[in-house]
Structure formats: C-alpha cells, structure tokens
Structure 1
Amino acid sequence: MNLRLNTLAQMVDRGARVADIGTDHAYLPIALVQSGKIDYAIASDIAQGPLDNARDDIAQAGLEKQIDVRLGAGLVTITHEDKIDTVVIAGMGGKLMVEILTAAWQNDFQFKTLVLEPNVGEPGVRKWLVDHNYQVVAEDLIEEAGHTYELIKAIQVETPVKLSKAEIFFGPLILQTKNPVFYQKWQGQLAYHQKLLVNLNKAKNKDTEHIKQIEQEITMIEEELNDQS
C-alpha cells in the first residue's frame, strides 16, 4: 500500500468492524485483515468495475469469508446487523462525504469511529463532525506523488467538542504539529487565494460575500504561516 493508505490503516483501531466506502481494489481492508488488526470488513463501492477488482483481489488473498463485497452508493450497503463500528471514507470530495454521512445519520446509522480523507473541502467535514458530536482524535497531513492529503480520525462523544474557526479550517491537531507539509501546502494555498482575490475584485458584478470570505482565509493562512511557535 502507499503512504496514504498506510496512514489510514494506522488510524483504524485493533479489533474494529470496518466498512470501507469507495473501496476500489479493497487494498485497505485486505491489509487490515492480513495484518491481524481486524477480523471483518465490508468493502463497498458504487461502481461495478472497482468492485470486481476488489472481489478478485480479496479472492486472491483468500479472504472471502472475512471481507464482504457490496455494491451501492455511500453507506446504503451497511445494515445494523453488520455491527460496523468504524467507517473509512477516503479519496472523495468533502461535500460528497458529508452527504453520505448525513444520509446515514438520518437513517439512524451512527458509527463510533470515522476515518476520513477528503481530497477537497476538509473544513466542511470537520464542521459536520463538530455538529454531530464527534471529536477529532488523530490527524495527519501528508504529501504523496505531488498531492497533499489531510487524514482525520474522529470518535463519537457525549459532550460536543467545539473547534475554533482556524481549527475547522486547518485541523486542530494539524495546527499543533505544523509539519513541513503544512508549510508547503499553505504557502501554495496562500498564493492561490491571493490570485483568486485579485480576480474576484476585477469582476464587474462583485461577489462581496465571497470576497470577504477569501480575505478572512488569507488572514488566517498568513497568521499560521508566520506563527512559528
């Protein structure tokens, strides 16, 4: 597995019952079962092609009895009888991720642990977690093959854990560590935001709300990049 999948695997608790949503080749559940970290997983995908790949790889690993393969959108493939306590969703946009989690929530599916890797829209995912009584307990910001990835592990709690605007935007634990990838990512994002702001201000019909949002984000980014503490 690559660095991204290995990091996600490290976030899964030993003995968890896992549903890997958007599993593709099922590399993650296969690795988790092979390592002895978990005994059971569901590999779920919306597309038949990736699911066929997953089924072939699971069969080749001899794990058909421990990994179920299911076709369907989001978490609709999961039943209460599965007793899934950990959901992994990786490699999709944050907006879609939130839609999947919300749909499950509305159907009375709540999971103890979420391991998430949105490839865009990370603040929206963290806001959803806060709004639904999840606490971020692990985060990592990694770089692989020219892309940066934010990985988030959250657990359900009884008392809501509030996050500041900056913590929602950057990640509460990512802010605490600020590894080299943090500076790489946000220096690039600062340049992108500054260019976007110039273009927004050039528009004939100015979107003042969007301009204000980008200005606020630029201020936050500059503050965190300049804060070396």
Structure 2
Amino acid sequence: MNLRLNTLAKMVDSNTRVADIGTDHAYLPIELVKEGKISFAIASDIAAGPLQNAKADIQKAGLQDKIETRLGAGLETIKHEDKIETVVIAGMGGKLMSQILEDAYQRGFQFKNLVLEPNIGEPGVRSWLMNHEYKILDEDLIAEAGHTYELIKAELVKEKVQLTEKEIFFGPLILKEKNSVFYQKWQGQLNYYKKLLVNLNKARQKDSERIEQVERNIELIKGEIND
C-alpha cells in the first residue's frame, strides 16, 4: 500500500468491524485483515468495475470469509445488523463525504469511529463532525505523488466539541503540529487564492460574498505561515 493508505490503516482501531466506502481494490481492508488488526470488513463501492477488482483481490488473498463486498452508493449498503463500528471514506470531495455521512445519520446510523480523507473541502467535513458530536482524535497531513492529503480520525462522543474558525479551516491537530507539508500546502493555497482574488475582482458582476470569503482565507493562511 502507499503512504496515504498506510496512514489511514494506522488510524483504524484494532478488533473493530470496518466498512470501507469507495473501496476500489479493497487494498485497505485486505491489509487490515492480513495484519490481524481486524477480522471483519465490508468493502463497498458504487461502481461495479472497482467492486469486481475488489472481489478478485479479496479472493486472491483468500479472505472471502472475512471481507464482504457490496455494490451501492455511499453508506446505503450498510445495515444495522452489520454492527459496523468504524467507517473509512477516502479519496472523494468533502461535500460528497459529508452528504454520505448525513444520509446515513438521517437513517439512524451513528458510527463509533470515522476515518476520513477528503481530497477537497476538508473544512466542511470538520464542520459536519463538530455538529454531529464527533471529536477529532487524530489528524495527519501528508504529501505523496505531488498531492497533499489531510487525514482525519474522529470518535462519537455525544457532545458538541466546539472548534474555532481556524481549527475548522486547517484542522485542530494539524494546526498544532505544523509539519513541513503544512507550509508547503498552504503557501501553494495562498498563491492560488491571491490569483483567484485578482480574477474575481476583474469580473463584470462581482460576487461580493465569494470575494469576502477568499480575502478571509488569505488572511487566515498568512496568519499561520508567517507566524
């Protein structure tokens, strides 16, 4: 597995029942079972092709009795009788990820642990976690193959753990650590937002709300990378 999947795997608790949503090749559940870290997982995907790949890899590993494959959208494939404790969702936009979690919440699902890796829109995911009484236990910011990834582990605590604007934007634990990838990522984002602001101000019909948000983002980023 690559660095991203290995880091996600480390965030999964031992002896937990796992659902890997958007599993693709099922690399993560296969590795977790092979390591002896877990003994049961559901590998779920919306697309038949990736799920077929997952089935083939699971059979090749001889783990058909420990990893079930399910075809369907998001967490719709999960039933209460599965007794899933940990949900892993990685490699999709934060807006879609939050919607998947919200749809499951509306169906009466609250999972003990969530291990998430949104590839965009991370603040929206943190807002969802905060508003649904999850506490962020672990975060990591890594760089791999020209991309940066924010990984989040959260636990259901049944009380709202308030995050500040900065903590939602950057990640409360990422903000504390500020590793080298932090400066690399946010310097790049600062440059992006500066160019975006120029273009927004050039527009014939100015989107004042969007301009204000971009200006705020620039202010937040400058405050953290220039401290």
TM bracket, shorter-chain basis: over 0.9
Identity of aligned residues (%): 70
Alpha-carbon distance in 2 for matches of 1:216, 1:22: 33
Unaligned runs of 5+ in 1: none
Partner of 2:29: 29
Tell me which amino acid in the other structure corresponds to 2:173: L
Partner of 1:39: 39
Secondary structure of the equivalent of 2:6? helix
Give the deviation of 1:112 after TM superposition.
0.5
Tell me which amino acid in the other structure corresponds to 1:114: L
Partner of 2:208: 208
Give the deviation of 1:226 after TM superposition.
1.0
Give the deviation of 1:139 after TM superposition.
0.1
Partner of 1:78: 78
Alpha-carbon distance in 1 for matches of 2:212, 2:52: 47
Alignment of 1:189-204 (within 5 A): 189-204=189-204
Partner of 1:138: 138
Secondary structure of the equivalent of 1:55? helix
Alignment of 1:54-93 (within 5 A): 54-93=54-93
Secondary structure of the equivalent of 2:205? coil
Unaligned runs of 5+ in 2: none
Give the deviation of 1:11 after TM superposition.
0.1
Alpha-carbon distance in 2 for matches of 1:200, 1:81: 50
Partner of 1:221: 221
1:122 to 2:118 alignment: no
C-alpha RMSD of matched pairs (Å): 0.4
Give the deviation of 1:158 after TM superposition.
2.2
Aligned residues: 227
Give the deviation of 1:160 after TM superposition.
1.0
Find runs of 4+ consecutive structure 1 residues off by over 6 angstroms: none
Partner of 2:150: 150
Alpha-carbon distance in 1 for matches of 2:200, 2:166: 23
**1:102-157 Cα distance to aligned partner (Å, 9 max, x none):** 00000001101000000000000000000000000000000000000000000001
Alpha-carbon distance in 2 for matches of 1:165, 1:125: 13
1:106 to 2:100 alignment: no
Compute the TM-score of the two structures, normalised by the length of structure 2: 0.99
Alpha-carbon distance in 1 for matches of 2:151, 2:142: 8
Alpha-carbon distance in 1 for matches of 2:28, 2:45: 13
Give the deviation of 1:186 after TM superposition.
0.2
